[in-house]
Amino acid sequence: MGLALIAVSLLIGLGALGTAIGFGLLGGKLLEGSARQPEMAPMLQGKMFLIAGLLDAVPMIGVGIGMYVLFVVAPTLAG
């Protein structure tokens, strides 16, 4: 059970870290693009929100897999 807890912690933590890095890069590129071509800012912002929604799905999937491992797989290995 102990290794399952470590695996779930790593799964959720690294997924959240990757998403945070992705959001930072995405926001930076949005600001760069808006500064270069201000007339394109509304279109870039719409695309940014679409990508942000897809990027935000990654840690949610990680949480789902982590819960599965924690509550379904780990008890079968322990007992």
Return the structure tokens found at 10: 């790593």
Backbone angles phi, psi at 2, to 5 degrees: -65, -40
pLDDT exceeds cutoff 90 at 78: no
For the chain, list the domains and their CATH numbers. Answer: 1-77 (1.20.20.10)
User: pLDDT tens for residues 7-56?
Assistant: 999 999 999 999 999 999 999 999 999 999 999 999 999 999 999 999 99
Return the structure tokens found at 21: 């890095």
Residues catalogued as catalytic: 56
Given pLDDT bands bounded at 50, 70 and 90, which one contains residue 77? confident
